[in-house]
Amino acid sequence: MTQVDQGPMHNGSGHRDNFGVGNEQHIEVNNAASLEASNFDAARRTVFVVHGWIHDINEEWAQQLITQLLSQEDYNVIGVDWREGASKMYSQSTANARVVGAQIAQMLDWLGQEAEISNSKVHIIGHSLGAHIAGYAGERVDGLRRISGLDPVGPYFENTDPVVRLDPTDADFVDVIHTDMLPIYFLGLGIKMAVGHVDFYPNGGLNQPGCGNLFDTFWGTIWELITLDLLGALMAFSCNHVRSADFYTDSINAIDLCPYASYVCGSYDDYDDGLCSTCERELCSSMGYHSESYTRGRGSLYLSTGENPIGNVDLEPDSPVYIEFRIRPIKKLGVLIKMDLEFDDNSFNSWLFPDTWFVDKVIIREGLPEEVYTFCGHDQPAKSKKTITVYTC
């Protein structure tokens, strides 16, 4: 990909207008010929994708996000590749971020003059330090429609003045996903404070399923650094941080089958205790791409996820047990009348659990707005590899 002229502090800011990943086209600010030679269409909505520290626009998460965006709508997708500025020491990269934000704002102003695009049709998606870059761009232009911040970084930004970081005044709608709020001394990178109109905290915004626990992540990263496995260290270091982008990408085409239903709540502990798990008064939303549609789902929202969209359930040997997990059906469920349940205790730790479970109630919440189905098991005994049937009640 061709780089545009590098600005102050040597920020590489490559912009690409892509209609099919792999078919990138270079657009250079103040170069009308580059715009005319591209497939950029001012009638379409425009999405900027901005990577963060020590990343570039060719990262797997960025390419997957772009692919899903283009499958959802015929956008102008512009990838901002500032890898040179992002590869410095963290302190220098945070300073470079301001310049990159100014360059995006400059491009928006130029596109407004040259192609007559409206900022009301522009959406900037930024991951990590890229989320604050989106904020810097938004504060310099009028009427930006939307910014999506994917785990904005915390160091140098936590508890700072809004002018320093992403905040709700940077666009008409700012949605944020927090996935890596551990303290920096435990290798956490994400910001904890709410910085948008709506802030989602999946799994409390801390350890994400599938990324290992704190002990494994910390010592695994230290060991990989000792053995000079730098790529392995980076992967362990960033798993929770990148998971925000994975959630957002997955949400783009998931709204009909399996939305990331999220609920306004005072804290994740309250949510985990089942105090805020309904859409009463429409105080809920769908985390990610479609959150803009849920006008009352604002503030801090919480949800639980599995390691992947098709979740496995980890059972605790306590009684009674409340289990929540997500599944992705291949089509809409329709009207539910009964459900067949079967569990398999063929696991390495099955000896920890009883041979028989007693099913009292099953609740299914489908879609947003929610359809709620309750099935009564009346404490039916469920044994391994034996199917039981529960009916709506």
8 A C-beta contact, residue 344 and residue 273: no
Alpha-carbon distances, residue 47 vs 44, 79, 99, 197, 388 (angstroms): 10, 8, 19, 19, 49
Closest by Cα among 171, 173, 179 to 153: 179
Is 151 marked active-site? Answer: yes
Provide the residue type at 357 as one letter. Answer: W
Question: Which of 241, 246, 251, 300 is the catalytic position?
Answer: 241
Question: Which of 56, 151, 199, 250 is the catalytic position?
Answer: 151
Question: Which of 128, 262, 277, 304 is the catalytic position?
Answer: 128
Is 304 marked active-site? Answer: no
Q: What is the 3-state secondary structure (H, E, C) of the chain?
A: CCCCCCCHHHCCCECEEECCCCCCCECCCCCHHHHHCCCCCCCCCEEEEECCCCCCCCCHHHHHHHHHHHHHCCCEEEEEECHHHHCCCHHHHHHHHHHHHHHHHHHHHHHHHHCCCCHHHEEEEEECHHHHHHHHHHHHCCCCCEEEEECCECCCCCCCCHHHCCCHHHCCEEEEECCCCCCHHHCCCECCCCCCCEEEEEHHHCCCCCCCCHHHHHHHHHHHHHCCCHHHHHHHHHHHHHHHHHHHHHHHCCCCCCCCEEEECCCHHHHHCCCCCCCHHHCEEECCCCHHHCCCCCEEEEECCCCCCCCCCCCCCCCCCCCCCCCCCCCCCCCCCEEEECCCCCCCCHHHCCCEEEEEEEEEEECCCCEEEEEEEEEEEEECCCCEEEEEC
What whole-number distance in Å separates Cα of residue 50 and Cα of residue 170?
15
Is 197 marked active-site? Answer: no
- Residue positions annotated with a catalytic role: 128, 151, 241
